[in-house]
């Protein structure tokens, strides 16, 4: 699939696709073009069997400073509605991708930036990351669905009603962010995690994501049925017996090394 991109960069290395928001001069503000390109790159990742994990990162000092307000100044009511629909399509493209998506937030993630990050499966952030939902202050409605599902309705209402900024550690405490790293470690840690996920069976990872996402939408009984169907598909489509055998050999090897280590330690102690 040939991509023509002006607001993003996209590349695949070692089964990891990296989507980079690339409007640093505009602090990666989300405009109409970026909305469309996010849909395009997610479709590209979905149809590329070489891609097993997607990282969403950003160029410049900000992850995404929100919607492009300069673009909105000349919009009519109809234009604004169409633009919001384009934004919803971009977030949905991230969210519905069957492969894991990790947001790597190194700086400000405001408004639309929070939505891009929240549409990912989870967020890794640097110490310098900051978050804000300014929609109410702008006289508009937004971010009312993903945020409550992540942090709960009471905290979501506070963040939405006040539009206050909060740092990565508070985001971690409320469950919006999974891990916080020093700024100089964030990229390496994100790639290490993506590499570990990419090493797993792609079918098993896809079915696990599907089971979690689908199960949350229904009853517990329905969720168990979803998982059972996923288990059956995985048994038919993966070499699970070889994986278990390999795990057993690795565990035995680890136990043997540990035993040898204890023996060596005891011998050294006896000789002292």
pLDDT tens track for 243-267? 556 555 555 566 556 666 655 555 5
Question: DSSP state, 98?
Answer: S
CATH code of the domain containing 30 = 3.90.226.10
Residue whose pair of structure tokens reads 């990790």 in the numeric block = 102
What's the pLDDT score for residue 172?
98
What's the pLDDT score for residue 243?
58
Percentage of the chain modeled with pLDDT above 90: 71
Nearest to 131 by CA among 149, 146, 118, 144: 118
Per-residue pLDDT band at 73 (split at 50, 70, 90): confident
Q: What is the mean pLDDT of residues 94-122?
A: 98
What's the pLDDT score for residue 167?
98
1 inside domain: no
Q: What is the mean pLDDT of residues 132-152?
A: 95
Tell me the pLDDT tens digit for each residue of 201-214: 999 999 999 999 88
Same structural domain, 192 and 255: no
What dihedral do alpha carbons 85, 86, 88, 92 form, nearest 10°? 130
Same structural domain, 64 and 194: yes
Question: DSSP state, 26?
Answer: G
CA Rg value for the chain: 22
What's the pLDDT score for residue 253?
61
Of 176, 198, 220, the residue at which a domain comes to its end is 198
3 inside domain: no
Residue 241 has pLDDT above 80, yes or no: no
Instruction: Supply the range of the domain harboring residue 183.
Output: 8-198
Q: What is the mean pLDDT of residues 168-190?
A: 98
Min mean pLDDT across 20-24, 143-147, 158-162, 247-251 is at 247-251
Collect all residues with Cβ–Cβ distance below 8 Å to 160 and sequence separation of at least 6: 133, 135, 136, 143, 144, 147
Same structural domain, 88 and 119: yes
Percentage of the chain modeled with pLDDT above 70: 86
What's the pLDDT score for residue 229?
75
Same structural domain, 184 and 212: no
80 inside domain: yes
What's the pLDDT score for residue 264?
52
Same structural domain, 50 and 115: yes
What's the pLDDT score for residue 271?
41
What's the pLDDT score for residue 252?
54
Same structural domain, 15 and 90: yes
Whole-angstrom Cα distance, residue 39 to residue 53? 16
Same structural domain, 234 and 127: no
Report which listed range, 61-70, 160-169, 237-246, is most confident.
160-169
Averaged confidence pLDDT in the chain: 89
Same structural domain, 157 and 93: yes
Residue 105 has pLDDT above 70, yes or no: yes
Same structural domain, 93 and 188: yes
Same structural domain, 109 and 29: yes
Catalytic residues: 115, 135
What's the pLDDT score for residue 272?
34
Tokens of 87: 């934004």
C-alpha torsion sign, points 139, 144, 146, 150: positive
Nearest to 31 by CA among 86, 74, 81: 86
What's the pLDDT score for residue 261?
61
2 inside domain: no
Tokens of 55: 């990282």
Tokens of 1: 């699939």
151: three-class secondary structure by DSSP = helix
Tell me the pLDDT tens digit for each residue of 6-29: 999 999 999 999 999 999 999 999
Same structural domain, 191 and 209: no
Same structural domain, 73 and 172: yes
**What is the CA 203 to chain-centroid distance, rounded?**
18
Collect all residues with Cβ–Cβ distance below 8 Å to 59 and sequence separation of at least 6: 9, 20, 21, 22, 23, 24, 28
What's the pLDDT score for residue 270?
41
What's the pLDDT score for residue 36?
97
Number of domains into which the chain is organized? 2
Of 141, 171, 198, the residue at which a domain comes to its end is 198
């Amino acid at each position: 699939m040939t991509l023509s991109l002006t607001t993003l960069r996209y590349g695949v290395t070692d089964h990891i696709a990296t989507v980079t928001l690339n409007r640093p001069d505009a602090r990666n503000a989300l405009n109409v073009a970026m909305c469309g390109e996010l849909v395009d790159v997610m479709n590209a990742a979905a149809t590329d069997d070489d891609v097993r994990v997607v990282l969403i990162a950003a160029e410049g000092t900000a992850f995404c400073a929100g919607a492009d307000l300069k673009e909105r100044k000349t919009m009519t009511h109809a234009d604004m509605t169409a633009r919001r629909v384009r934004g919803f399509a971009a977030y949905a493209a991230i969210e519905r991708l069957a492969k894991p998506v990790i947001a790597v937030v190194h700086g400000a993630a405001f408004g639309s930036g929070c939505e891009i990050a929240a549409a990912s499966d989870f967020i890794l952030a640097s110490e310098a990351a900051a978050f804000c939902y300014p929609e109410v202050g702008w006289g508009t409605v937004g971010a009312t669905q993903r945020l409550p599902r992540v942090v709960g309705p009471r905290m979501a209402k506070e963040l939405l009603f006040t539009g206050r900024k909060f740092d990565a550690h508070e985001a971690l405490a409320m469950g919006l962010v999974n891990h916080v790293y020093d700024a100089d470690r964030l990229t390496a840690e994100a790639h290490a995690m993506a590499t570990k996920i990419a090493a797993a069976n792609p079918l098993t990872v896809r079915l696990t994501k599907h089971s979690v996402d689908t199960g949350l939408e229904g009853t517990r009984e329905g969720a168990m049925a979803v998982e059972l169907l996923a288990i059956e598909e995985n048994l038919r489509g993966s070499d699970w017996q070889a994986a278990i055998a390999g795990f057993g050999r690795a565990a035995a090897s680890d136990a043997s090394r540990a035993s040898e280590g204890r023996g060596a330690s005891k011998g050294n102690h006896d000789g002292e």
